Structure 1
Amino acid sequence: MAAVTGAPFPQEISRIVWESKYRAPGEADIRETWRRVAQAVASVEVEPALWQDRFLDLLADFKFLPGGRILAGAGIRRQVTLFNCFAMGPMEDSLDGIFEALKEGALTMQQGGGVGYDFSTLRPRGTRAESAGTVASGPVSFMHIFDVGCAVLLSTGSRRGAMMATLRCDHPDVEEFVEAKRDPQVLRNFNLSVTVSDAFMAAVEQDSDWPLVFPAEQLTPGCGEGSVLRDWPGYDKPVPCRILKTVRARQLWDRIMHATYEVAEPGVLFLDRINRLNNLHYCERIHTTNPCSELPLPPYGACDLGSINLVRFVREPFSDRARLDLDAIAALVPVAVRFLDDVIDLSGFPLEKQRRRARATRRIGLGLTGLADTLIFLGLHYDSDAARRLAEKVMATICHAAYRASIALAREKGAFPLFEPRVYPQGPFVARLPQDIRDGIAAHGLRNSHLLAIAPTGSISLLAGNVSSGLEPVFAWRYQRRLQLGGRECRLVEVTDPAWSLWRRRYGDGALPDFFVTATELSPEAHLAMQAVLQRHVDSAISKTIHIPEDYPFEAFRDVYHRAYELGLKGCTTYRPNPVRGSVLVTERHCCDIDREGD
């Protein structure tokens, strides 16, 4: 691939990522990419020339980083979606239904979208169906078919085919699901998460029995013992479920924890909390998330993503006057909200059901990236009260500015179609917003049902100069990254952290101050505490990986997930280096297929 010169790239890896993932034919540098994207997104406006200029300024200097699908797809003449991720609909428990779900996912991945599936609707292994009398092979068996389908799509040259698979904590096959990825060669295109209820967490605390169940109407008469009412995907209200097995809740929890400790999966999603805090609690039920779990989504739900690059708003770094320009961030947010809202009208959709859901709710996911580097520039240790106070203030600034911008858009263009003025403001998240925002919602509605999410920002953070990703701490100050660019072409690239680089240029090779801290040097509690203060001001969720030392005791590790639940998080994901999965980062050489990045 020929090198392109003249673009304002902060590092060589930024140019390589742009050329490999986001550059359209004929573009000479990143500024032409920004111009293409700004023009395309503004084309849905009544005054496109005005908004093209404003969107171009929004993108300039990497201040705002749209999701990768927007950068790659806006303004090109190909059938692609501008949405990074989707949740698929309930999977009907029949061969027709299962393969229809596979087809829908394949069509979505073909156009560049990651997908999330909940497999809880599939009958447990060994049970018989009332209608056909066939014996079920269970959800995990069908996951292998989906995994192969995803791998085939990836091999054809389309963007990564990442998938999320969730299963309820009371599904009779949950134990098989928990153990499914102990073999590193299977389900390689899936992330796995167990969806956990408040009742299960209470049963773990009490060390009580926990029934594993399935809807009675889908089983043959006499199957199982006893019956309970449960919410279940595919049903509008709680349904009678037969108890097929009873386990000790704490033993099941320990089994989940051991698998996560040893092979880094499954993650845990606190499903009741996700639904209780959902702004659309009155009209939708969530059972799964997108592949990186920052977006709990209803059936056929989707979200277009964008992140504010906090590093670009640091003034006078490493000085006594170092500060973060919150006023400039607040001024940027309304343009970013409008940009993402316009993407909904511009984008194509693989499925008509996805289009209808996206335009009925107008969900967007505005977040941040570069938090850890920003803290370093300001001389703040990631694990400090001062750092958490600033991070919370930043996220609150973004949140409140986003909601005010969505109110203004609703006044101009109309509220999202599923807005219900009498019930929407009663949601717990909305009820905690400042009074002027609640008054504005009551008077004018909102353009977007949800506005905030913190995504992993893998590739777009590299594009912006390897700024720290999302809210994650810095992984390493300097390392080599091996990028697979397509086909057999690979490149080994030197990557440095921008805060570290600036410090070395200014102050030489002496010892670093203590506020230079990496992810593996922080305690799990430090990771959780930062995620918790930001979650207070995020109406969707946060993609976060808590890095655990290899020698961390299991008993302490198990408490990390209890602590996540106590802190009000919507989910928890950890990574501990292990013989099966290896280390997430090797400071000398980091192997990564660029097509599998988070965005």
Structure 2
Amino acid sequence: MDTLELEHKGTIYSYADAYESTLQYFNGDDLAAKVWVSKYALKDSDGNIYERTPDDMHRRIASEIARIEANYPNALPENEVFDLIKNFKYIIPQGSPMTGIGNDFQIASLSNCFVIGNGTQSDSYGSIMKIDQEQVQLMKRRGGVGHDLSHIRPKGSAVKNSALTSTGLVPFMERYSNSTREVAQDGRRGALMLSVSINHPDSEDFVNAKLEQGKITGANISVRIDDEFMNAVVAKENYIQKYPIHSQNPKFEKEVKATELWDKIIHNAWKSAEPGILFWDTIIRESLPDCYADLGYETVSTNPCGEIPLCPYDSCRLLAVNLFSYVENPFTKKAKFNFELFKKHVGYAQRMMDDIIDLEIEKIDAILEKIESDPEGDEIKATERNLWISIRKKTIEGRRTGVGITAEGDMLAALNIQYGSKEGNEFSTLVHKTLALAAYRSSVEMARERGAFAIYDEKREKNNPFVQRIKDADPELFEDLQKFGRRNIALLTIAPTGSTSLMSQTTSGIEPVFLPVYKRRRKVNPNDQEVRVDFVDEVGDHWEEYIVFHHRFKQWMEVNGIDTERNYTQEEINKIIEQSPYYKATSNDVDWLSKVEMQGAIQKWVDHSISVTINIPNDATEELVNQLYIKAWEVGCKGVTVYRDGSRSGVLISNDEKKEESPASTAFPKKRPQILETDIVRFQNNKDKWIAFIGLIDKKPYEIFTGLADDEEGIALPRWVNDGVIIKNRDENGKSRYDFQFKNLRGYKTTIEGLSHKFNPEFWNYAKLISGTLRHGMPIENVVELINRLELDSESINNWKAGVARALKRYIADGTEAAGKCSNCSSDQVVYQEGCLICKNCGSSKCG
């Protein structure tokens, strides 16, 4: 990420000082403290910390929002903004806004979500490469990106180049996925959503693309499903796929059995939680921005977690309202929800979101200035410059916002209402209806004070279902909307709030509690006195396990006079849970169909979409997934993800084999075969170019040779070479030698002799060590963890270490932990929520 070199006048705090102060701020919550210091405290490019506690961050944010407010009538003063956001109690800017507002050290966007695409729907190589470059440019600025592949011609179609026929979707999925995995900032890799229409003739290949180990590990995938296909599924009829999709005069048609394709989608979702489903006709039918489709606002895809459907080059910023904080007298018989305060604060939240748009425009201008000042020529900079110009135009013109919520599960529990019950669903729907009307009221008031979004036209929107709901629920608001317009083209979402919920110490987003009581691990030194060791992991680190109460469950215990300091047995804990409003209301035991109905009811009052996961047990059947998906379509959900417990923890193998293997079952031959198939992986660390030769058995890494490319100690290999074989030979002295052989452009075999002699001897020795762990079957994710923990002295060897880890990560199935354990802390408390794998032990998350 680009940084500004400037002298900061503020105090620099050590990590220890910031951590201890923040630990006190969070009342001893170690996880919340670590997440805030590592992710959100203001830092410069050297890692110096300029904020001691979240209070400093909230003052930074409040100051900037108040500065924008001063440009408009009835400005909110800084102290009032601070009171709304302090302590993560009421209003919480999410992710990029929290990190970026008032941060002069980074030239980065405040947007959480982007969608890109070609308005011409071109699938030329030029347009495909343009999208590839655009997604990388956005990811380096911290954004999550989505784009659709429905415009790419199907496999076997004629093309006017030397290839003669198209390769179809899958190779381009791999290209975009690999580009995503190359981009990382502070350990945060890029996030990508790839989508395609079910009407595309290659949609089955798209659905199956992630089944093979190591494929498309850098992207989430979702299928855009239309009502015609769903009706064909229900009626067991055939369905016509076309290219171009839904064309009246297609170049290509293909008739398929709808149920057969549907069953493959269901099977893959049951097996690996992907593909996700986007009910596309529902999305378009309900979309207010699509009332302006002919003006460039046609929705084409979603962001990586699916909560913001977007048109090309539009973006969105996220903010969450903490629902728990509006429950008065929580967990008592007098508990009630303060709707008046809630409506007032939602109005402020919408206003602050609009202010953040102005701050984002300033950030985009800084990015454009940075691009202009870069030393590269205009031809090289053209794609990045034009990208941000397009994003700037959409940001100013539509002023899209993403006001959402967190703590739905805790709000219901605090009101003594069971999550997933009929009463719970009805109350949640009322809360979200109230939120929608209050946010739209605020946007209309801002239109009166600040002006409506540039292309507002009430005639275009009058028949939109969402607008009609506003008319029925609040006729006065509807009249004012027609009279004044509104400030923002679309307003609402329910997004993932993983880190946010850790710091607000509540349940995440719309989800129920994961577990009210669970075990957590901390690493310990076994030589320390009075230390207890409960677990030793695969690489020899020692861990202590201890019981943690979910914060609000602990609050319920305190309200009800239950001792929170005692060491309880599991049986005692179970009895306590049975007495609580969290009983039968956790992620794994809520009524699944009821949760889908809840999502559909709430979706009626969310103009974007909802990121939510339906968690089902490991022994759940594919038929249950089928029922949940069809129910989601019937009740009006815009998208749905079903996660079967443990389904992303196995190593996925080729589709032809149709079976799942445990990573521990890998049985490599004891004697190294003379010839091994080999993948070539290229990457860059700092300014150094690196290359890795990865020997494979059954497409799994067996050995690795790696080092600097294109220098005296390295190896020069043509850029077009991506694979070959490693051959074990002996030199004239009888010593073992590893040669690499590949086919040149004329089809002849070219051999590079002695890989072991081409690299620095120190690299070679470590490579032998790592190859040894691979050959003995250590799971790839554990090998990567071992490499990352190597404590090496020189900068060059540490760069090499990072390169090896990056090369091997691509072979971890789905980019997730093959053993269902967190790669950061080895905990098995890894859960799938809101489209992300989240570790409840250390807070690390992986979306994609």
TM-score, scaled to structure 2: 0.64
Aligned AA for 2:172?
A: F
Match of 2:271 in 1: 262
- 1:227 aligned partner: none
Distance 1:547 1:214, change over 3 A: same
Distance 1:444 1:132, change over 3 A: farther
SS of residue in 1 equivalent to 2:290:
coil
Is the CA contact 1:129–1:136 (under 8 Å) kept in the aligned structure 2?
A: yes
Alignment-mate amino acid for residue 386 of structure 1: E
Equivalent residue for 1:2, pick from 9, 16, 23: 16
Label 1:492 to 1:365 Cα distance change in 2 as closer, same or farther (>3 A): farther
Name the counterpart of 1:168. Answer: 197
2:550 pairs, out of 485, 497, 522, with 497
C-alpha displacement of 1:181: 1.6
Larger Rg: 2
Alignment partners' CA distance in 2, 1:462 and 1:214: 46
> Aligned pair 1:354/2:394, yes or no?
no
Q: Corresponding residue for 1:18? A: 36
Q: Does 2:322 correspond to 1:305?
A: no
Give the match for residue 67 of structure 1: 94
1:292-321 deviation line (CA, Å, top 9, x unaligned): 101111111211111101112221122110
Map of 1:521 onto structure 2: 589
Q: For residue 398 of structure 1, what is the aligned residue in structure 2?
A: 435
Q: Measure, in 2, the Cα distance between the counterparts of 1:175 and 1:532.
A: 27
Alignment check: 8 A CA contact 1:89 1:117 kept? yes
Deviation at 1:100, TM superposition (A): 0.8
**CA 1:589/1:525 → structure 2, altered by over 3 Å: closer, same or farther?**
closer
Equivalent residue for 1:225?
none
CA distance in 2, matches of 1:490, 1:431: 60
User: Sequence identity of aligned pairs in percent?
Assistant: 32
Matches within 5 A, 1:415-454: 415-433=452-470, 434-454=474-494
Partners of 1:14 and 1:462 within 8 A in 2: yes
- Please give the secondary structure, in 2, of the residue aligned with 1:210: strand
Q: Do the aligned partners of 2:154 and 2:200 also contact (CA within 8 Å) in 1?
A: yes
1:203-352 superposed matches below 5 A: 203-215=232-244, 230-231=245-246, 240-284=249-293, 285-347=298-360, 348-349=363-364, 351-352=388-389
Q: 1:88 to 1:567 in 2, by over 3 A?
A: same
CA contact (8 A) 2:290 2:299 kept: no
Question: Which residue is equivalent to 2:680?
Answer: none
Please say which of residues 540-549 and 513-522 is displaced more in the overlay. Answer: 513-522
Give the 5 Å matches for 1:90-105. Answer: 90=118, 92-105=122-135
What's the offset of the Cα at 1:134?
3.3
Alignment match, 1:85: 113
* Counterpart for residue 547 of structure 1: 615
Structure 1 CA distance for aligned equivalents of residues 234 and 322 of structure 2 = 41
CA contact (8 A) 2:402 2:491 kept: yes
Post-superposition shift, 1:482?
A: 7.4
In the alignment, the residues of structure 2 paired with residue 584 and residue 446 of structure 1 have an alpha-carbon distance, to the nearest angstrom, of 46
Measured after TM superposition, the shift of residue 597 of structure 1 is 5.1
Supply the distance in 1 between the matched residues of 2:544 and 2:408 (Cα, whole angstroms): 26
Task: In structure 2, give the amino acid aligned to 1:148.
Answer: N
Report the counterpart of residue 136 of structure 1 in structure 2: 166
The answer on whether the counterparts of 1:110 and 1:159 sit within 8 Å (CA) in structure 2 is no
- Relative distance call for 1:482 and 1:84 in structure 2 (3 A) is farther
Q: CA deviation at 1:131?
A: 6.9
Flag structure 2 segments of 5+ consecutive residues without an equivalent: 1-14, 43-48, 368-387, 524-538, 564-572, 651-818, 831-837
Could you list the per-position Cα deviations for residues 271-294 of structure 1 after superposition, in whole angstroms to 9, with x for gaps in the alignment? Answer: 111111111232222121011101
* 1:209-253 Cα deviation digits (max 9, x unpaired): 2222213xxxxxxxxxxxxxx54xxxxxx5521334321011111
1:462 paired residue among 502, 515, 525: 502
**Which position in structure 2 is the counterpart of 1:376?**
413
Q: Give 3-state SS (helix, strand or coil) of 2:152's partner.
A: coil
Find the residue that maps to 1:60 and give its secondary structure.
helix
Q: CA RMSD in A?
A: 2.6
Does structure 2 conserve the Cα–Cα contact (< 8 Å) formed by 1:479 and 1:588?
no
Q: Answer whether contact 1:456 1:598 (CA < 8 A) is retained.
A: no
Map 1:574-593; keep pairs closer than 5 Å: 574-578=642-646, 580-581=648-649, 589-590=829-830, 592=839
Q: Which amino acid aligns with 1:60?
A: K
Does the CA-based 8 Å contact 1:406-1:448 persist in structure 2? yes
Q: Which residue of 2 aligns with 1:511?
A: 576
Indicate conservation of the 8 Å contact 2:307/2:495, yes or no.
yes
| Deviation per residue, 1:430-459 (Å, 9 max, x gap) | 111021111011111100111110001111
Query: 1:300–1:17: structure 2 CA closer, same or farther, 3 Å change rule?
Result: same
Distance in 1, matches of 2:500 and 2:167, equals 41
Code of the residue aligned with 1:344 in structure 2: it is: I
Paired letter, 2:439: A
In the alignment, the residues of structure 2 paired with residue 493 and residue 471 of structure 1 have an alpha-carbon distance, to the nearest angstrom, of: 29
SS at 2:317's partner residue?
A: strand
- Aligned residue for 2:444? 407
Checking the alignment, whether the CA contact within 8 Å between 2:109 and 2:143 is kept in structure 1 is yes
Matching residue's letter, 1:211: I
Letter in 2 for 1:64: I
Provide, for residues 157-183 of structure 1, a one-character-per-residue CA deviation record: whole Å limited to 9, x for no partner.
364311101011011111111111223
2:148 to 118, 121, 126: 118
* Structure with more contact order per residue of length (Cα contacts < 8 Å, sep ≥ 6): 1
Specify the alignment match of 1:219 in structure 2.
none
Q: Contact conserved, 1:12 with 1:493, CA < 8 A, in 2?
A: no
Q: Mapping of 1:556-595 within 5 angstroms?
A: 556-578=624-646, 580-581=648-649, 589-590=829-830, 592=839
**For structure 1, which segment, 538-547 or 133-142, has the greater mean C-alpha deviation from structure 2 after superposition?**
133-142
CA distance change for structure 1 residues 597 and 39 in 2, over 3 Å: closer, same or farther? farther
The 1:450/1:529 distance shift into structure 2, 3 A limit, reads: same
- C-alpha spacing 1:589/1:204, structure 2 compared with 1 (3 Å): closer
How big is the shift at 1:491? 10
Deviation at 1:581, TM superposition (A): 3.0
2:235 corresponds to 1:196: no
SS in 2 for 1:307: strand
Which has the larger displacement, 579-588 or 385-394?
Answer: 579-588
In structure 2, how many angstroms separate the alpha carbons of the residues matched to 1:545 and 1:364?
A: 23
One-letter code aligned to 2:84: L
Q: Which moved more, 1:186-195 or 1:586-595?
A: 586-595
Q: CA deviation at 1:492?
A: 9.1
3-state SS of 1:521 partner: coil
1:51-94 superposed Cα distances (whole Å, 9 cap, x missing partner): 32222121012111112100001101121111101011236312
Letter in 1 for 2:110: L
Partner Cα distance (1:457, 1:135) in 2: 44
Deviation at 1:537, TM superposition (A): 0.9
Quote the Cα distance in structure 1 between the aligned partners of 2:476 and 2:639: 31
Structure 1 spans left out of the alignment, 5+ residues: 216-229, 232-237
Residues 46 and 178 of structure 1: is their aligned pair in 2 closer, same or farther, counting only changes over 3 Å? same
Corresponding pairs, count: 574
Distance 2:604 2:508 in 1: 20
Q: Is the 8 A contact 2:117 2:313 kept in 1?
A: yes
1:425 touches 1:441 (CA, 8 Å); kept in 2?
Answer: no
Contact 1:454 1:542 in 2 (8 A): yes
Look up the match of 1:222.
none
